[in-house]
Amino acid sequence: MRLKFVLLLLAAFSLSGCSVYNFTGTGKIDADTFQVNYFQNNAELIEPGIERTFTLELQDLIQNQTNLNLVNTGADLLYEGEIVDYRITPMTATADQRSAQNRLTISVLVRFTNRNKEEDDFEKRFSFFYDYPAEAQLVGPILTTALEEIFGRITQDIFNDSLAKW
């Protein structure tokens, strides 16, 4: 009988300790709304359409991992910025001095504003990369896969820095 009581007590304490966090790792968010302004592509090398793709992916991630409402103006949380780098560089060479692998790197400058908690505001650059075979063209499915991996990582890093505080 005493063992059941101790186990019940332990279960109650462990569950009550989780009340502030949810499955995405965010604590209590002191906001109801968020806004993601269009991220312009200001990179030297332009890939058409990636700015729209990135903006939508950031909106979708925040909507899927929080209960915040997306609005167009006057939000509690504001995400804005620009794509500042889109670069393809050779990574490894073959014995005859040709590139065997290329790397696509994308960097995004983000300005985050929390109107309810100014100490959370930041301006920060986020980057990630995708390696692909040098003989492949960065179009079609390869480009789609690269953008999914890069934007998936960058948007998650932005989410973690702004809301999860990891």
Reported as a single tens digit per residue, the pLDDT across 16-44 is: 444 444 444 555 678 999 999 999 999 99
Which of 126, 131, 132 is closest to 153 using CA atoms? 126
Predicted structure pTM score: 0.81
Share of the chain above pLDDT 70, in %: 79
Q: Give the HSE-up count for residue 72: Cα atoms under 13 Å, Cβ half-sphere.
A: 0
Within 21-139, where are the H helices? 50-65
Task: Tell me what the mean pLDDT of segment 69-79 comes to.
Answer: 96
Q: How confident is the model at residue 20, as a pLDDT?
A: 41
Amino acid identity at 66: T
> How far is Cα 30 from Cα 15, in angstroms, rounded to an integer?
22
Task: Tell me what the mean pLDDT of segment 43-62 comes to.
Answer: 96
Reported as a single tens digit per residue, the pLDDT across 91-143 is: 876 666 677 899 999 999 999 999 999 999 999 999 999 999 988 999 999 99
